[in-house]
């Protein structure tokens, strides 16, 4: 089967390509490179031994997208492409709504015109908002995210639910990712954020490699065991496997649209993550305690039982695996991918 992966050159997309290829699918990547690097494709070809076509395209380019589908070579879509920086989305809401929503409209239109109706969508734990009880469960309502980025995920979930309701040909998986971290164990691909990392793991990795002076822990006075925030970190390779499991499941299930949490069900604190990363690196890392970051929740994690029961999927890689693999990637690629290359 041929699977189009939007955002396939990005952090999560690139890792997702690997199990898809290993399962025998032909993968085509569509990516605009706004937050990714074409060098990733050579790395993926080294890892998989497969040739992976790469199409440079913004999903909002409707004619370009039509040409991709007109080849007749797309059987299913994994839609990961999106702008995803929470803070930036607050200062540039229109850009986020425009890019994430219009990109999805354009994609759905092209899929409908070409009779492709199997879709796996990249959603986020952020859809649960601030009031959902932990562990988060898929049936919780109302979904109200607290940032424009999160709202785009809520809105797209609603749109896809309505699309599947109206037309029984559609088979759609909504995957609510918790906190993806780690890297492929080859050390060839990993997370390579532009500028100062917003997220904990890439920041820690850049401290360890000497690109940042120290980690600032955003608050140690939360109502948690050690006072620092707790999250459900999952290895990006487990997350990648989750996409394959979801694709198989939607094709085996009745038509419709269904959400699955992808997480471990375990909470790890910022301090525990720092200590685990120090174990991976082999020495202590500099840090300071800073003020809380506005908008951070004290602790959340998922109930993963639906994904385990219905997708036959389980996030089994440990926090130590996540740190060891991140460190392998970062130490072998201290500056991330080489400068942007055109493919």
Choosing from 128, 149, 222, 337, the catalytic residue is 149
Nearer of residues 99 and 106 to ligand UD1, judged by Cβ: 99
Q: Measuring CA to CA, which residue among 258, 267, 273, 257 is closest to residue 302?
A: 267
CA dist 151 → 58, 86, 120, 129, 308 (Å): 21, 10, 18, 10, 27
Note the residues at the interface with ligand UD1 (CB under 6 A). Answer: 86, 124, 126, 179-180, 198-200, 203, 215-218, 229, 231, 270, 293, 295-296
Q: Give least dist CB 175 to ligand UD1, A.
A: 12
Q: Give least dist CB 299 to ligand UD1, A.
A: 9
- d(CA 304, CA 115) in angstroms, rounded, equals 32
Q: Give least dist CB 84 to ligand UD1, A.
A: 7
Nearer of residues 83 and 250 to ligand UD1, judged by Cβ: 83
Residues contacting 181, CB < 8 A, separation 6+? 191, 199, 200, 201, 233, 234, 235, 236, 322, 326
Longest dimension (CA), the chain: 56
- d(CA 329, CA 240) in angstroms, rounded, equals 17
287 is a catalytic site residue: no
Question: What is the DSSP code (8-state) at residue 34?
Answer: S
CA dist 296 → 138, 146, 310 (Å): 21, 10, 31
Q: Give least dist CB 178 to ligand UD1, A.
A: 8
Q: Give least dist CB 3 to ligand UD1, A.
A: 23
Query: For the chain, how big is the Rg over CA atoms in Å?
Result: 19
- d(CA 15, CA 236) in angstroms, rounded, equals 7
- d(CA 160, CA 118) in angstroms, rounded, equals 11
**Quick one: which H or E segment has residue 324?**
helix 319-332
Q: Give least dist CB 231 to ligand UD1, A.
A: 5
Indicate which residues carry an active-site annotation. 149
């Amino acid at each position: 089967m041929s699977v189009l992966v939007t955002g396939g050159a990005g952090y999560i997309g690139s890792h997702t390509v690997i199990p898809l290829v290993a399962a025998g699918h032909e993968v085509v990547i569509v990516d605009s490179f706004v937050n990714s690097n074409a060098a990733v494709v050579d790395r993926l070809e080294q890892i998989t031994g497969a040739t992976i076509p790469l199409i440079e395209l913004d999903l909002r380019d409707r004619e370009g997208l039509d040409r991709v589908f007109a080849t007749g070579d797309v059987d299913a879509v994994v839609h990961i492409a999106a702008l995803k920086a929470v803070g930036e989305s607050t200062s540039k809401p229109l850009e986020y709504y425009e890019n994430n929503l219009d990109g999805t409209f354009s994609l759905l239109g092209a899929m409908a015109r070409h009779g492709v109706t199997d879709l796996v969508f990249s959603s986020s734990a952020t859809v649960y908002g601030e009031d959902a009880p932990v562990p988060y469960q898929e049936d919780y309502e109302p979904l109200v995210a607290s940032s424009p980025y999160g709202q785009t995920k809520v809105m797209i979930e609603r749109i896809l639910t309505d699309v599947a309701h109206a037309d029984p040909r559609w088979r759609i998986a909504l995957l609510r990712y918790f906190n993806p971290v780690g890297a492929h164990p080859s050390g060839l691909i990993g997370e390579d954020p532009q500028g100062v990392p917003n997220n904990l793991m890439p920041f820690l990795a850049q401290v360890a490699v000497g690109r940042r002076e120290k980690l600032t822990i955003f608050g140690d006075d939360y109502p948690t065991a050690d006072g620092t925030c707790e999250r459900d970190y999952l290895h990006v390779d487990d997350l990648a496997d989750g996409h394959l499991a979801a694709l198989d499941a939607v094709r085996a299930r009745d038509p419709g649209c269904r959400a699955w949490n992808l997480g471990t069900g375990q909470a790890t604190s910022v301090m525990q993550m720092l200590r685990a990363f120090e174990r991976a690196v082999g020495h202590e890392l500099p840090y300071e305690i800073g003020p809380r970051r506005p908008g951070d929740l004290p602790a959340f994690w998922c109930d993963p039982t639906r994904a385990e029961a219905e997708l036959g999927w389980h996030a089994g890689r440990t926090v130590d695996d996540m740190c060891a693999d991140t460190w392998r990637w970062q130490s072998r690629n201290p500056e991330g991918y080489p400068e942007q290359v055109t493919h």
